[in-house]
Amino acid sequence: FDQDSVGQFNVGDYVEVSATLVEAASKSGSFGYNQFSYSSKDLEIKKIDGEKPNIPAPVPLTAAIADSWATTPFSVTESKAYTWTTTVGEDGNYLTYNIEGSNTVIEAPYLPTDFDFEAGKKYTVTGYFVAYQTNHNYVNMILTAAEPVSVPATAVTLSASKTELNIGETATLTAQVTPADSTDEVSYEITEGADLATIAGDVLTAAKEGTVKVVAKAGSVTSEAVTITITAPVSVEVTFSKSEDAINVDSTLDLNALLNVVVPEGKDKSVTWASDDEKVATVADGVVRGVKAGVANITATSVADSTKSASIQITVKDVDYSIGQIKAAGNYTVRGVVDGLTTQGMIITDGKNSIYYYGGYNATGLQPLGTKVEVTGNVASYNGAFQFSASDKTPAAQVSVIESGEFTPAAPVALTADIANSWAADGATFTTEDVKKYTWTATVGTQGGYETINIKDSETIIEPVYLDKKTFDIKEGWTYTVTGYFSGYNSKNKYASIVVTDLKDGVAPALTGIKISGANQVQVGKTVTLKAAAEPSSAVLGEVTWSTGDKEIATVDKDGVVTGVKAGKTTITAKSGEISGTFEITVTTEAPAVQPLVADYTKGWEDGASHTSDFGNKYN
């Protein structure tokens, strides 16, 4: 009936109801009630006097009964009071009172205001089954009683968001109660140091310096204590001794020397570092490095108190490290890559210009090929070209290895006779651009005891300076493809200096003859060993075959060992390919006579002289 009529009646009133009984489902399109109910058209309810009937005790509700309501038609006798335990849930805007083990949703619409349910809590409820709404799939119950179910806590654990606080700071306390649906209220209590902190709800506020212990309580159980240490606020100062400084690109500056950090005794004095523009300058452990020209602010922040910090402005400046800046003698700093090595120096190039660095007899400062270096020191002219020197100059050049910079050596230029001749022009001087890499074909010669690698059709003498023979196996008379840097021209001794960087495709000179050496006499039954050598000496001597002109006088084996057979003379021949050499040998029946050795005769034994006819002779 209409809601206005509800206030006319109270629980316990004895009433008489008259109406026409109809099937609710047949008259309600949206609510399909699987039941019979009174129609409100002719409904009349009034209080009456008389002996009230006994109300049956509630029936325990089971999951099977609740599930049957979704499928079974009902009679008036089905609308009886049930009792069950439920954990209140939520379904859209309605609370639910389902019974464990059943899929049936139980709702209690039009719930009186004196029922105060809380979702997630457990209750023992009593109520009348009214209907099952088939269109919305839920049971409609009218609740008559509800009592909260008490679930005692069996354990409780406590944690704090922070266990170290400064005075005035707070920590959030969190209790974990077992079981999770316990109905016991949680409270927090300071068991030690109650005068050092306060608790409001689940928030502890530090008030005085010291140590407090806190527990959580739920019902009859208490957690283990959590210890929280309270200290006085840290007094920290972070300052730089200057507000700004400057460095060059690719240079570094240690800011630790400018930093001052003051902290209370026992506190962490370290800082964290940051740059507000790492494209200009980076910082690591207080060492700032210039990246490109510009301004960056470097900040040091205290670890003990992150609210305390200091900043210094760093201006990064560009610096000319190019080798091309060298136009005259003086002090310079240049950067490049090592692209050529000698036993006493190295070629440094930045890809456009190059310079020779002389390290002296001790090879001071020399670095491996491909190493990026910075050279600082005096530049002077030597052999018409500029060079650094680690000795005999003031200040002596210093070499340091660097990591930054891109230096790609230029490809070698084909050397011509005209270029070589221009080096020898009277009064010629050379720039760092002239110190470049060339390639040409040269046959190795000698002049004044030094190898030469001259280019054809040029009268200019070219010498490989301080050539590392362990790296380059250079042989006189051989022809090579040479690559190397021109490093100057010695006008006094008339030669161009080349720092060789590559020597390949070596071709030996043609074999023109075979020279045989050894004793020219041998006794019958004795042996002598002959040796074969290439002519010219730099030619390659292949496999040698030996032969004798007369086996009746002497024989010779494959190793050039001659055996005397009978007295006489014969010719021994050594042959390699189409080239051969001969050697006359005498076989005697007696040992060679001992000849007197006089001073005049030994003059012929000077270095480079030929002694072939003297081999094997005895002298006294």
Q: Say what the pLDDT of residue 235 is.
A: 82
pLDDT at 28 over 50: no
Pairing of strands 226-231, 164-166: parallel
Q: Say what the pLDDT of residue 151 is.
A: 87
DSSP code for 249: B
From CA 555, how far away is CA 61, in angstroms rounded? Answer: 131
8 Å CB contact between 296 and 276: yes
Query: CB count, 10 Å around CB of 21?
Result: 10
Q: Say what the pLDDT of residue 610 is.
A: 53
Distance of CA 30 to the CA centre of its chain: 69
CATH second-level architecture of 1-149? Beta Barrel (2.40)
Q: Say what the pLDDT of residue 547 is.
A: 96
Q: Say what the pLDDT of residue 115 is.
A: 85
pLDDT at 77 over 80: no
Class of 513-619 per CATH?
mainly beta
Phi first, then psi, for residue 540 (nearest 5°) are -95, 125
pLDDT in tens, 327-355: 999 999 999 999 999 999 999 999 999 99
8 Å CB contact between 412 and 435: no
From CA 458, how far away is CA 440, in angstroms rounded? Answer: 12
pLDDT at 595 over 80: no
From CA 94, how far away is CA 192, in angstroms rounded? Answer: 47
pLDDT in tens, 453-505: 999 999 999 999 999 999 999 999 999 999 999 999 999 999 999 999 999 99
The full DSSP string for 566-592 is: SSEEEEEEEEETTEEEEEEEEEESSPP
Cis geometry, peptide bond prior to residue 58 (ω within 30 degrees of 0) = no
8 Å CB contact between 201 and 212: no
Q: Which two tokens stand for residue 586?
A: 């005498």
Burial 585-609 (b: 16+ CB within 10 A, else e): bbbbeeeeeeeeeeeeeeeeeeeee
Handedness of CA 323, 325, 331, 333 (dihedral sign): negative
Burial status of residue 302 (CB atoms within 10 A of its CB: 0-12, 13-18, 19 or more): buried
Beta bridge partners of 296: 314
Q: Which amino acid is at 437?
A: K
Q: Say what the pLDDT of residue 392 is.
A: 58
Where are the domain boundaries for CATH 2.40.50.200 in the chain?
A: 1-149
pLDDT in tens, 396-411: 899 999 998 899 999 9
With cut-offs at 50, 70 and 90, classify the pLDDT of residue 10.
confident
pLDDT at 29 over 50: no
8 Å CB contact between 302 and 232: no
Q: Which amino acid is at 117?
A: F
Q: Say what the pLDDT of residue 129 is.
A: 87
Percent of the chain with pLDDT over 90: 68
Q: Is the CATH code 3.90.380.10 the one for domain 155-231?
A: no
pLDDT in tens, 408-465: 999 999 999 999 999 999 989 999 999 999 999 999 999 988 999 999 999 999 999 9
Pairing of strands 89-91, 81-87: unpaired
From CA 599, how far away is CA 444, in angstroms rounded? Answer: 38
Which H/E stretch holds residue 602?
A: helix 599-602
From CA 455, how far away is CA 438, in angstroms rounded? Answer: 11
Closest CA to 376 of 446, 338, 321: 321
Between 127-131, 152-156, 440-444, 472-476, the lowest mean confidence (pLDDT) is in 127-131
What's the start-to-end Cα distance of the chain, in Å?
158
Q: Please state the rounded mean pLDDT for residues 2-25.
A: 69
From CA 323, how far away is CA 375, in angstroms rounded? Answer: 10
**HSE of 506 in the Cβ direction (CA atoms, 13 Å)?**
15
With cut-offs at 50, 70 and 90, classify the pLDDT of residue 136.
confident
8 Å CB contact between 564 and 556: no
pLDDT at 602 over 80: no
Where are the domain boundaries for CATH 2.60.40.1080 in the chain?
A: 155-231, 237-317, 513-619
CATH second-level architecture of 413-507? Beta Barrel (2.40)
> Which whole-number Å values give the CA distances from 261 to 234, 267, 323, in the listed order?
13, 11, 43
Q: Say what the pLDDT of residue 75 is.
A: 61
- Enumerate residues 6+ apart whose C-beta is below 8 A from 441: 455, 456, 479, 480, 481, 482
Q: Is the CATH code 3.40.50.300 the one for domain 237-317?
A: no
Q: Please state the rounded mean pLDDT for residues 120-136.
A: 85
| Average pLDDT taken over every residue of the chain | 88
Q: Rounded to 5 degrees, what angle do the CA atoms 55, 98, 62 make? A: 55
pLDDT at 301 over 80: yes
Beta bridge partners of 581: 574
Q: Say what the pLDDT of residue 205 is.
A: 96
8 Å CB contact between 471 and 537: no
pLDDT in tens, 252-288: 999 999 999 999 888 899 999 999 999 999 999 999 9
8 Å CB contact between 58 and 14: no
With cut-offs at 50, 70 and 90, classify the pLDDT of residue 26.
very low
Kindly calculate the radius of gyration of the chain based on its CA atoms and give it in whole angstroms. Answer: 56
Beta bridge partners of 479: 443, 507
Q: Please state the rounded mean pLDDT for residues 578-590.
A: 94
Cis geometry, peptide bond prior to residue 395 (ω within 30 degrees of 0) = yes
